[in-house]
Each structure stands twice: as structure tokens, then as C-alpha cells.
Amino acid sequence: MLWMSTPPGHIDVSIEHKRADPARSDGRGDHPNTCPACGSHYRDEELADTLRVCPQCGHHFPVRAPERIAQLADPGTFDEEDAELRSADPLEFFDLKPYVERLAEAELRTDLGDAILTGRAAIDGHACRIAAMDFSFMGGSMGSVVGERFARACERSADEGGVVVSVAASGGARMQEGILALMQLPKTVAAVGDLQDAGGTLLSVLAHPTTGGVTASFASLGDVILAEPGALTSFAGPRVVAQTTREKLPDDFGLAESNYRFGHVDAVVVRSELRSTLARLLRLFGGGR
Amino acid sequence: MSNEAELGLRDRLAQLSGVKLLRGTRLSTELQRLERQLERLRDDTSDEEIWRRVALARHEKRPYTLDYVERLLDDWFELHGDRGRIDDRAIVAGLGLLAGRTVAVIGHQKGRDLKERAIRNFGMANPEGYRKAIRTMQLADRHGFPIVTLVDTPGAHPGIAAEQHGQGGAIARSQAAMLRLGVPTVAVVIGEGGSGGAVAIAVADRVLMQENAIYTVISPEGCAAILWRDAAKAKKAASAFKPDAAHCLELRVIDGIVPEPEGGAHADPDAAAALLRESLIAHLNDLASLAPDELRRSRRAKFRSMGVLAQV
């Protein structure tokens, strides 16, 4: 498996842009293998062995899409689909850098064509499709390619009455694709509708962070919604809310545990049990016919 | 920009092109000719021109949803509440007669003065607002009433309670509900079409924009703060992501442009309402003969095909 040999790169999961607040970049705790919760530091292999969960305090480190698939799928079963799709640049978008340059850099750095990997797989012997997002590709932002790969995964599964397991990790819609990025919300919602109408199933896993347009589209429409402990899963980010309301936010604002309490997710599942939990659900949803 | 020949050209192009173009379908000769004309028009849309439209879309005298409701509908009966928790005043919903037939209207509502702005929360809805919209859509679906939505919001409300009550899920479910309807639906962006809070009620058979409306993935200020690290670069951001109606039509995100009176809708709200009425009736008539399944199928297909892709 080619993707297992790829060393996990640094994943910046600050969903509020770091650059907007230079005072925060003091360099401390910035190392990707230093636990932001307890300060313990690990070698890469140590973290890979624990599914990127801190053995000291249980903090869930972010997981890149290829590693996520390796954690969930039966060995050798993942068969990537739609790998040839790439973002176009219909707006010829240019901020401080051209969008095409940002795309090329992201592809070089992450070895991914865009912020989602999709394909066939089996989990504990149950055939399904996995759609795993990768925050390290432009903040996991959803543009035309993320929307298209997800929609195609749903369509192919709908033809078979099958199950799509999605693992979201996204800052929201990709600004560089403008209004077309916003249109990926109804696009993925339409794909889920077709999947579910055809008797198929969406099992939605929310990883840290799942915010903005992905929260406001497919990720919230799972037949079952699971979240990882401590994952920020909100529509608006905490800083935007704090600035708008000028109120002190609750400590668990927008976190998986809070969303569980308020009834927006079915279960908060620790990473070591995610695979077995999905396998149980695949068995249950497969038992209806 | 405001002359009718140009608007007609865009309408014509939208009709001819449909949604298949995004997937690389070959263009007919006629279509290519229209494309070239539109290209020339686009070149005329300068940064200043785009920013002028952003300002007009947000103009404090711009007609809001209820201004159109009173001019378009007879016998308006407003529906209140999400049947669960509260009545979100940032979204209005109700039934009325448009040209003699019952329609449901759902729209964001901004406030005119300080007090009303507070009551309406600047047109920024909470999850309860989207749930009111959903139940109104489902009511209309049961009774066969066509649905008109009027989109005018800076965005969904970013608040603590909004998150606790499921803002993201409410927006997702509102889109899902629209994609399931068997009645004709027309959405019109009448001012600001701000991000998820706007698209939540804009997943319609026909999506139109008024000539000076904007439709955006993020506010120009928000985009500038993130990408340029400077909210003051909003004008630059706006011209980069091109939120004006002409560009949205070019990208096939919308199906047509509703003309406004000279100087913008606020200059003559009665005339703006008359132009809106004309468009609404034309599009609703077009859709009237389609069976529920056909409406659903083609609506889903339209949104399914949104986006522009490349391949390696």
C-alpha cells in the first residue's frame, strides 16, 4: 500500500487562520507530535501505533486521509476511485497567490489530488465506500473536487444499495472557488438524498475540525452521526462567535461532547473503537433486507 | 448593464446552456456566439462596478422580503414558529395569492430601523428559522402550493445558542427538504445571498438574482480578513470572487437575472416589485406542467452538476 509509506506531514488544524493572529504563533507546542493537551511528545511511530491518540491523556491528534483509511479498512481492500479529478480555476482566483499555485503546493506537500480520498473498501468484511477528508490539503476545504468525489461515491453506492462511510475534517467551503464552492453544499446534499432514497446508508464520522460548509451539508445528514472525542464540530468557529456575541463561550463550545449533549450526534467514539463501531453499524444496516 | 437587451442575452444563454456545460458538453454554434457576447460584457464588469453592486445589495433603503410580499401578494397570511421552540423573526414564511393562485413565500427579513434590526437580527437566522422554513415547505408540498423564496441575509447567525441548537444541521436539512419537494420552487436573491444561511433556502428549480444582488461563499470582509489578512481589502476580495449576478449566471449557479429599475430597487420599490412579479409568474408558469417526480429529478440533477472540474 503506497499510502502507508507516506510519512504523516504536519497538519495545521487551527481553523481560525493563524496568520490573522500572529501573537499566537509563539512557536511553543507547535510540533505536530507534541500533545496540545498535556505537552507529551512522541516519535512518529509511537503515535502511529496508538492510532494518533495520546497515550498519556487521550487527546486525539488529527489523522490524514490515507492513514485514516488504513485504520478503518481491512488491509489491502481500499481501492481508490476518481483519483484523476482535479480542481479547475474558473474564477482565475488570485489573493496573495494564485489559486492554481496553492493547489500545486498542496498536492506536492500532501501527495493528494484534493482534500478527500474516496473509494471502495471493506470494514471487518463488510463492503462499503469510504470518503475520508484530509485537513492538510488546504484546510480540508470543500471545492468542486471534494463535492464531486463525495457525490460519485454516493451515486455508485446508491446503485448497489450500499453504505458510504464519510470521515469529515474540514474548515468549510473553499473560498478560492467562490460561489461554486457554496454550490457543493446542495450538490452533496442532493447526492445523500439520492443515496438514502435508493435504500443506501450514510455513516458520518466527524473528526476535528468539522466546520462551516461541511457541517452545513452532507456531514450532518448521516443516518448515524459519530464524532471523535474533543472534535470541534460547529457551523461557525469559536472566534467568529465570540466576536459576534461578545459573550464568554462555554468551555466545550462546539465540541463533540457538547453536540452529543444537545442531540446532534449519536455517539462520541474513541478512535480505538471507531473501526469496531462502524463494523457493528455496517452489520446492522446490512440486516434490514 | 441595465439595458434589457443584455439581460435578455443572459436569460437566453441560461436557457440554452442548461447545466450540462459544466460537464464539458460541446457548445452549439449559437451558444458559442452568446458566450462571446457575454465575455465582452464580463470584461466591462470592473472592480468598481462589482463593488457598486455590493453596496446596492446592502443599501439600507433596499426593499426587503415583506416590502415585496405586500406588493406581490393578495391576502397574505403569515405563519409563525418552528413548532418546537420559538418564532425566529429573521425568516418570514406564509401563504398568499400570486396572480390568483396560492403560493408559499419564505424569505429572510432584515430590519429598517434599529429596533426592527434587533428583532430581525439583521436577517441572520437561527436554526429555528430554518426549521420554520422547512415546515412551511412541507406544508406547501402537501397542498401543492408552489414555493417562492426570497434570499437576503449576510449569513446564518453565528451564536452560542445557534450552535447548541444545531445551526449546521438545520441548514443541511433545509437544503435536503427543498431537494425532496414535488412542487415548483423559485428562489430569488433580492439583496445579500450570504453563504450557507442563504443557500439553505435557495435550492430551487429556478434560482434568480436581482440585477444588483450578490451571492457569496463568504462575505467580502470575511474573505479579505482570511486571505489578505486585512478586512479593509474587501473590495479586492469581492472582485476576486465575483459575487455579482452576471458572473453567477455565467457559472450557471443561477438561471436568470431579474432587472431592477434605474438606480436600483430602492429607487422605485413598486417598479422593482412589478419586475419581480413578472419574472416569478413566467418561471412558475414554465414549471407548472411538470410532474412532482420530474421536478424533483431535474432539481437534483441541476445541483448535482454544479462545479467545474479538471482531470489529470
* Chosen from B23, B199, B312 to mutate, greatest number of chain A CBs within 10 A: B199
* Chosen from A184, A225, A235, A251 to mutate, greatest number of chain B CBs within 10 A: A235
Q: What's the gap in Å between the CA of A193 and the closest CA on chain B? A: 7
Indicate yes or no: CB of B176 within 8 angstroms of CB of A189: yes
pLDDT of residue B160: 96
Q: What's the gap in Å between the CA of A260 and the closest CA on chain B? A: 10
| Orientation angle between helical segments B65-72 and B269-288, nearest 10 degrees | 70
Dihedral sign (CA A91, B176, A155, A132): positive
pLDDT of residue B27: 46
Decide if A255 touches B, using CB distance below 8 A.
Answer: no
Judge whether A47 lies within some domain. no
Amino acid at position B206, single letter: R
Judge whether B284 lies within some domain. yes
Q: Which residues of chain B does A152 touch, with a Cβ-Cβ cutoff of 8 Å? A: none
Q: What's the gap in Å between the CA of B190 and the closest CA on chain A? A: 16
The 10s digit of each residue's pLDDT in A117-170 is: 999 999 999 999 999 999 999 999 999 999 999 999 999 999 888 999 999 999
Q: Which residue of A has its CA nearest to B252?
A: A180
pLDDT of residue B243: 94
Q: Which residues of chain A does B179 touch, with a Cβ-Cβ cutoff of 8 Å? A: 186, 189-190, 193
What band does A94 get if pLDDT is binned at 50, 70 and 90?
Answer: confident
pLDDT of residue A62: 96
pLDDT of residue B30: 55
Q: Which residues of chain B does A215 touch, with a Cβ-Cβ cutoff of 8 Å? A: 168-169, 172
Judge whether A23 lies within some domain. no
Q: What's the gap in Å between the CA of A19 and the closest CA on chain B? A: 7
What band does B222 get if pLDDT is binned at 50, 70 and 90?
Answer: confident
- The pTM (predicted TM-score) of the whole model is 0.89
> How far from A56 is each of A22, A35, A67, B67, B117, CA to CA, in Å?
30, 9, 21, 60, 50
pLDDT of residue B106: 98
Judge whether A1 lies within some domain. no
Residue B37: give the domain boundaries. 4-302
Q: How many CB pairs under 8 A join A and B?
A: 201
Q: Which residues of chain A does B153 touch, with a Cβ-Cβ cutoff of 8 Å? A: none
Q: Which residue of A has its CA nearest to B159?
A: A241
Structure ipTM: 0.90
Judge whether B309 lies within some domain. no
Q: Which residue, B123, B121, B86, is CA-closest to B107?
A: B123
Total number of domains constituting chain B? 1
Judge whether B307 lies within some domain. no
Q: Which residues of chain B does A22 touch, with a Cβ-Cβ cutoff of 8 Å? A: none
Q: Per-residue pLDDT for B82 more than 70?
A: yes
Decide if A244 touches B, using CB distance below 8 A.
Answer: yes
Environment class of A248 (CB within 10 Å of its CB; exposed 0-12, middle 13-18, buried 19+): exposed
Q: Which residues of chain A does B237 touch, with a Cβ-Cβ cutoff of 8 Å? A: 95
Indicate yes or no: CB of A87 within 8 angstroms of CB of B309: yes
Cell 444545531 appears where?
A: B166
The 10s digit of each residue's pLDDT in B99-145 is: 999 999 999 999 999 999 999 999 999 999 999 999 999 999 999 99
Q: Which residues of chain A does B300 touch, with a Cβ-Cβ cutoff of 8 Å? A: 190, 193-194
Total number of domains constituting chain A? 1
Give the Cα separation of A70 and A51 in Å (integer): 10
Q: Which residues of chain B does A20 touch, with a Cβ-Cβ cutoff of 8 Å? A: 225-226, 229
* Chosen from A19, A155, A179, A210 to mutate, greatest number of chain B CBs within 10 A: A179
Report the relative pairing of strands A126-133 and A163-170 from DSSP bridges: parallel
Indicate yes or no: CB of B203 within 8 angstroms of CB of A234: no
pLDDT of residue B21: 40
CATH number of B232's domain: 3.90.226.10
Judge whether A52 lies within some domain. no
Q: Which residue, A42, A28, A32, A25, is CA-closest to A11?
A: A32
What band does A12 get if pLDDT is binned at 50, 70 and 90?
Answer: low
Those residues with Cβ within 8 angstroms of residue A8's Cβ, 6 or more apart along the chain or in another chain: A32, A44, A48, A52, A64, A67
Q: Which residue of A has its CA nearest to B300?
A: A190
Q: Higher-confidence residue: A18 or A10?
A: A10
* Chosen from B179, B242, B306, B311 to mutate, greatest number of chain A CBs within 10 A: B306
Q: Which residue of A has its CA nearest to B218?
A: A175
Q: Which residue of B has its CA nearest to A237?
A: B158
Judge whether B236 lies within some domain. yes
Q: Which residues of chain A does B240 touch, with a Cβ-Cβ cutoff of 8 Å? A: 91, 93-95, 178
Q: Per-residue pLDDT for A106 more than 60?
A: yes
Dihedral sign (CA B225, B227, B233, B237): negative
Q: Which residue of A has its CA nearest to B297?
A: A194
Decide if A224 touches B, using CB distance below 8 A.
Answer: no
Write out the E strands in chain A. 79-80, 85-87, 116-123, 126-133, 163-170, 201-211, 224-227, 233-234, 267-268
The 10s digit of each residue's pLDDT in A196-210 is: 999 999 999 999 999
Q: Per-residue pLDDT for A24 more than 60?
A: no
Judge whether A201 lies within some domain. yes
pLDDT of residue B37: 57
The 10s digit of each residue's pLDDT in B269-302 is: 999 999 999 999 999 999 999 999 999 999 999 9
In this complex, which of A179, A236, A254 lies closest to B216 when CB atoms are compared? A179
| Total Cβ atoms within 10 A of residue B44 | 10
pLDDT of residue B312: 84
What band does A265 get if pLDDT is binned at 50, 70 and 90?
Answer: very high
Decide if A148 touches B, using CB distance below 8 A.
Answer: yes
Decide if A198 touches B, using CB distance below 8 A.
Answer: no
Q: Which residue, A44, A46, A57, A40, is CA-closest to A11?
A: A44
CA distance from start to end of chain A: 34
Q: Which residue of A has its CA nearest to B195?
A: A182
What band does A231 get if pLDDT is binned at 50, 70 and 90?
Answer: very high
Indicate yes or no: CB of A262 within 8 angstroms of CB of B304: no
Environment class of A288 (CB within 10 Å of its CB; exposed 0-12, middle 13-18, buried 19+): exposed
In this complex, which of A144, A215, A218 lies closest to B309 when CB atoms are compared? A144
CATH number of A124's domain: 3.90.226.10
- Before B220, cis peptide (omega within 30)? no
What band does B10 get if pLDDT is binned at 50, 70 and 90?
Answer: low
Q: Per-residue pLDDT for B9 more than 70?
A: no
Judge whether B308 lies within some domain. no
Judge whether A226 lies within some domain. yes
Judge whether A187 lies within some domain. yes
Judge whether B311 lies within some domain. no
Amino acid at position B269, single letter: P
Give the Cα separation of B62 and A136 in Å (integer): 42
